[in-house]
Amino acid sequence: MLPAIFGLSGLTLTDDERAFFLDANPAGYILFGRNVESRAQMRALTDELRALHGRDHTFICIDQEGGRVARMKPPVWAAYPAGESFDRLYEVAPASAIEATRANAHALGLDLAEAGISVDCLPLLDVRQPGAHDVIGDRALGTEPMRVAALGRATLDGLGRAGVAGVVKHVPGHGRALVDSHKELPTVTASAEELAVDLAPFRTLRDATIAMTAHVRFTAWDAANPATHSAFVIAEIIRKAIGFDGLLLTDDLDMQALGGTVPERAAKAQAAGCDIALNCWAKMDDMVGIASALSPMSVKTAERLERALAGTAAFDGPADISAQGALFAARDRLLDLA
């Protein structure tokens, strides 16, 4: 199996994509708005992706956070609030905020499970910092590490109840970035002592099965490389200081924070210690290049991938989403407290 996750160009697989994916056998796929039209279309697409490899537990992910980051949109799917909504509720009623977050994630996960999505790139554990770029902004679960961890845990629990795995991101923390890593490389000059705040939620949730790296350079740890390409950050900070031993994905390799060609970025991330290279934009030349640039999946990565997908739904039929109404009502009743 190739340790890569690839994007798709449209609502259905092209002949070239189908042939390439069969040959390359990637670990999984990521869907975007261009791949989403209707409930039936989405389920047919994800069913075909699973059938390509004969794997019921196939890594098929999406960025469905709520707020401004949502690939599945109304009127076909419900709108979900951004993380800031639950942060505001935590100010007045912490237990209610945790309950509302769990109900929201459970309802969201039921939408994903019905569509055949096994992994959601949520929750953000980035601790929001004053003066930072708004690329995180209202997506964050708060400015206080304990709160972020508590709401992050509730998110993972809610998704898990629907048979969907969550991804904690962006390890070791994107909350201090002063620029958007989609467009340029953020450099964080905080001291190692100051960065303990950023690590704290990830350390608390170190038993999560999947994490995504930050394309952020931390001068306290590695002045030359962003975390995604830093062997020191991955080995000493993510694996050792945080204690995370799950499946480590890169953030999208097409983001302009990284230098070199996309295949070179993938190879460098793997050499640094990332388990899986994530490439979102379905550019065939880049995907073919990544397939040539990466070494075969290691035994350790395969074990982590299997563990990450172990609790996901089997997707052998339509998901039962009859409970959604009660979950929405419970969430909204609690959010009204704020």
Q: Report, as residue numbers or ranges, the catalytic residues.
A: 182, 251
| Burial classification of residue 44, based on how many CB atoms lie within 10 Å of its CB (0-12 exposed, 13-18 middle, 19 or more buried) | middle
Among residues 304, 258, 307, 299, the alpha carbon closest in space to that of 279 is found at 258
Q: Cβ(256)–Cβ(242) under 8 Å? A: no
246: β partners? none
Q: Cβ(7)–Cβ(32) under 8 Å? A: yes
Q: List all residues 6 or more positions away from 273 whose beta carbon is below 8 Å from its beta carbon.
A: 231, 234, 235, 238, 239, 248
Q: Cβ(287)–Cβ(312) under 8 Å? A: no
4: enclosing H helix or E strand: strand 2-7
Cα distance between residue 277 and residue 249, in whole Å:
6
Supply the DSSP symbol for 143: S
Q: Which long-range contacts (CB under 8 A, 24 or more apart) does 65-72 make?
A: 65/121, 65/122, 65/124, 65/139, 66/104, 66/108, 67/138, 67/139, 68/138, 68/139, 69/139, 71/31, 71/32, 71/33, 71/35, 71/36, 72/36, 72/42, 72/111, 72/112, 72/115
Q: List all residues 6 or more positions away from 157 whose beta carbon is below 8 Å from its beta carbon.
A: 102, 105
Cα distance between residue 154 and residue 74, in whole Å:
24
